[in-house]
């Protein structure tokens, strides 16, 4: 078990390194750097000025070295300007060559500075993640019980009328991506022209205090797309368990149907949905980005869109680290959880 964990962790680390390097590479392509130089210094620079600006700010080094600097395993660049002032990646104004730290990367806890929001990346990401955590939490509270209930009810008696109607409902919900259901919900429940005006069409006010009125639509929109998928997986797992030998034995012994479902089937049927729910997190991230843009809720997804749209390299890198971390950790949890929940699997 320990070896399995260690191997998984090693693989995870390797994946994270590869992915962040790819993001680093893509955000630091020459056209992107040129755009950065023009937006930071002056929009009317010619090519030679752009090149010299990039050189002065340490962007001319090989990509691998700069990736190392960003990670914090390679010393940050320093140079002395013509007027004798020390400049460098890790040099704050007022530092001298002695006081400035040698390394400043994410390993040292230095995430850099956002060019769009003009603030420390770590503060922005922490604040925005907090906002998104509320959204995700509410989505999970709605999505998981609803999906499990639908799946179990549908899977109890395969082919029954209830199964058919609930399965159709879950197929319909998987066919409705967030930007479709969000638009339809706003048109029905929030539009001032024709709608019912029950809820608010934006969630901007939910950033300060969450109310039923401003938070319902975003949460339902994200949850709806996930419910169908989890419910179908639960149904599949439930129907499989219900045809197992031990269920038949229980039926033949005269155990009542509800007893069978609750006592015997449910526990085994919920193992597979657990992994599915865990693996659903990366997809939720997708939904979060769409819904936060649609409802103007300035959380993590909104930050990611802003950072990517404005080529804010360090913020985008931080966002991708968080995203990749979420994906890999949920994968790990789902693997470990599967082993723990399912006594039939043994890792040698």
Partner 1 sequence: MDQLTWTGALGPYLNPVLMAAIAVAVVAFALQVLRTFLRLVFRLSGVQMVPEAGPPAPGHSAPLDTADYLRLAMNLAFKVALAVVLIYLAAGIVLQGPAKGIIGHISTLYLPVWIALIITFALSMKFKRRLGLYGKLFDSSIGMIGFGIVMFWVFTAIFADLLVTADPLTTLSGMKNKPPGTPLPDGTYWYLLGGDNLARDVYSRMVLGAREVLKIAPAATLFAFMVGITLGLPSGYFGGKLDTVLAFISNLVLAFPVILLFYLLVTPEMVETGIPMYMAAVLFIFPVLFMIVLFNSRFHTQPPKRNLYVAITVVVGLWLYSGLAFNADPLGLVSMQPNILIVFVSVVFVNSPTVYRIVRGLALDIQTRDYVAAAQTRGEGPWYIMLWEILPNARGPLIVDFCLRIGYTTILLGTLGFFGLGVSPESPDWGSTINAGRRLLSIAPHPAVVPALALMSLVLGLNLLADGLREESLKD
* Site residues for partner 1 per CB under 8 A: 11, 15, 18-19, 22-23, 26-27, 29-32, 35, 153, 161-162, 165, 167-168, 171-172, 174-177, 179-180, 183-184, 186-187, 190-195, 201, 256-258, 262, 282, 285-286, 289-290, 293-294, 301, 304-305, 308-309, 311, 319-320, 323-324, 327-328, 331
**Is 77 or 229 the residue whose CB approaches partner 1 more closely?**
229
**Is 279 or 341 the residue whose CB approaches partner 1 more closely?**
279
Task: State in angstroms the smallest separation of the CB of 296 from partner 1.
Answer: 10
Distance in angstroms (rounded) separating the CA atoms of residues 70 and 35: 20
Residue for token pair 């950033």: 207
Angle at which helices 271-279 and 121-156 pack, to 10 degrees? 150
Q: What element of type H or E holds 78?
A: strand 78-80
- HEC states along 95-128? CCCCCCCCCCCHHHCCCCEECCCCEEHHHHHHHH
- In 3D space, the residue among 202, 294, 186, 114 whose CA is nearest the CA of residue 302 turns out to be 294
Task: State in angstroms the smallest separation of the CB of 333 from partner 1.
Answer: 14
**Is 277 or 322 the residue whose CB approaches partner 1 more closely?**
322
Task: State in angstroms the smallest separation of the CB of 130 from partner 1.
Answer: 19
- Measure CA 43 to chain center: 34
8 Å CB contact between 287 and 222: yes
**Is 106 or 294 the residue whose CB approaches partner 1 more closely?**
294
**Is 90 or 278 the residue whose CB approaches partner 1 more closely?**
278
**φ, ψ dihedrals at 57, nearest 5°:** -100, 20
Task: State in angstroms the smallest separation of the CB of 172 from partner 1.
Answer: 6
What angle (nearest 5°) sits at the alpha carbon of residue 202, between those of residues 198 and 205? Answer: 100
**Is 108 or 174 the residue whose CB approaches partner 1 more closely?**
174
Task: State in angstroms the smallest separation of the CB of 285 from partner 1.
Answer: 5
Distance in angstroms (rounded) separating the CA atoms of residues 2 and 77: 40
Task: State in angstroms the smallest separation of the CB of 162 from partner 1.
Answer: 5
Task: State in angstroms the smallest separation of the CB of 187 from partner 1.
Answer: 4
**Is 192 or 245 the residue whose CB approaches partner 1 more closely?**
192
Task: State in angstroms the smallest separation of the CB of 327 from partner 1.
Answer: 5
Ordered alpha helix ranges (H), the chain: 2-27, 30-40, 47-56, 63-71, 121-156, 161-174, 178-185, 212-242, 245-252, 257-259, 266-269, 271-279, 281-294, 300-309, 313-341
Distance in angstroms (rounded) separating the CA atoms of residues 86 and 163: 71
**Is 73 or 184 the residue whose CB approaches partner 1 more closely?**
184
């Amino acid at each position: 078990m320990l070896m399995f964990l260690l191997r998984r962790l090693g693989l995870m680390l390797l994946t994270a390194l590869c992915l962040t390097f790819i993001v680093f590479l893509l955000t630091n392509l020459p056209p992107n750097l040129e755009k950065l130089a023009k937006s930071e210094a002056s929009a009317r620079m010619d090519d030679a000025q752009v090149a010299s600006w990039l050189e002065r700010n340490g962007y001319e080094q090989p990509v691998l070295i700069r990736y190392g600097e960003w990670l914090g395993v390679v010393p940050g660049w320093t140079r002395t300007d013509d007027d004798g002032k020390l400049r460098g990646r890790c040099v704050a104004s007022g530092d001298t060559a002695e006081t400035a730290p040698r390394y400043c990367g994410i390993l040292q806890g230095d995430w850099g500075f956002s060019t769009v929001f003009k603030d420390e990346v770590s503060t922005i990401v922490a604040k925005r993640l907090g906002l998104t955590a509320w959204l995700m939490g509410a989505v999970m509270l709605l999505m998981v019980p609803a999906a499990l209930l639908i799946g179990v009810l549908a899977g109890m008696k395969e082919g029954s009328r209830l199964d058919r109607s609930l399965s159709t409902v879950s197929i319909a919900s998987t066919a409705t991506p967030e930007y479709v259901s969000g638009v339809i919900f706003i048109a029905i429940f929030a539009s001032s022209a024709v709608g019912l005006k029950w809820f608010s069409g934006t969630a901007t006010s939910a950033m300060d205090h969450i109310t039923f009125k401003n938070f319902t639509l975003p949460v339902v929109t994200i949850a709806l797309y996930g419910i169908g998928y989890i419910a179908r997986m639960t149904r599949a797992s439930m129907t499989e368990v219900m045809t197992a030998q031990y269920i038949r034995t229980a039926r033949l012994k005269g155990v009542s149907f509800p007893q069978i479902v609750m006592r015997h089937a449910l526990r085994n049927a919920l193992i597979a949905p657990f992994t599915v729910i865990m693996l659903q997190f990366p997809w939720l991230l997708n939904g979060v980005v769409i819904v936060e843009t649609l409802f103007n809720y300035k959380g993590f997804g909104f930050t990611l869109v802003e950072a990517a749209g404005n080529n804010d390299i360090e913020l985008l890198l931080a966002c991708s680290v968080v995203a990749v971390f979420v994906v890999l950790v949920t994968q790990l949890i789902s693997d470990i959880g599967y082993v723990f929940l399912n006594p039939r699997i043994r890792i040698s």
